Amino acid sequence: MDDIFTAGADIEGFFKIYEGDVYNAAVEVSKASQRVFGMLESLPFPVISAVKGLNLTAGLEMSLCCDIIVAADNARFGQIEPRHGIIPGGGATQRLARLVGPLKARELIYTCDIIDAKEALQIGLVNKVVPLSELEASVNDLCRRIIRNSKQAIMKSKDLINKGIYNNPDGFDGENTGFGEVFASGEPMERLSAFMKTKKTKRNR
């Protein structure tokens, strides 16, 4: 599919959080997401995210863990969790701000705006934008330009860049607890239920 990269996390899965200890269940969901994305980010070799179509919430958080993001001209990006009474739980409160700066990160998260590829390039969220038909060829060319260089030097450079970026683990830990707190408030259940009801109504028309 060319119109959707990912629509984000499984919303129906969030309802399972309310089946037991809500706070701790939500914290564990956030920790699990951060653990998986952290593994992606810490891979010793360069990882490229080639995005086409809609890329929201957890999908965008996954892209933020990559070394380079190449977007097709039909790509759209959004960190829209607050629309459902949730905060980003997979690291976006930390990674988005380091890429686009705190002012723009706040704007994107607070407003839940979905931006197009052109704006994503302007704010530094992606490295380049190419026509959809050229996405694969562009990424392959980028890979060729990388692999002709020293593997050892690239691996060491990646390690040092990441060490220079992440010097405060409290931000990620705070995201875990914040994710638990918003779910424990009950608001996500109300907003997600309303969203799913609206979605079902539209589907049945």
Check: CB of residue 60 under 8 Å from CB of residue 78: yes
| Cβ contacts of 76 within 8 Å, gap of 6 or more | 53, 54, 55, 114, 115, 116, 117
81 is an active site residue: yes
**What is the spatial distance between Cα 81 and Cα 84, in angstroms, rounded to a whole number?**
6
The one catalytic residue among 12, 28, 61, 187: 61
Dihedral (C-alpha) 183, 186, 189, 191: value to the nearest 10 degrees? -100
183 to 18, 118, 195: CA distances (angstroms): 8, 34, 16
**Catalytic residue of the set 81, 107, 181, 190:** 81
| Residue reference for tokens 């399972």 | 16
**Is 12 assigned a catalytic role?**
no
Indicate which residues carry an active-site annotation: 61, 81
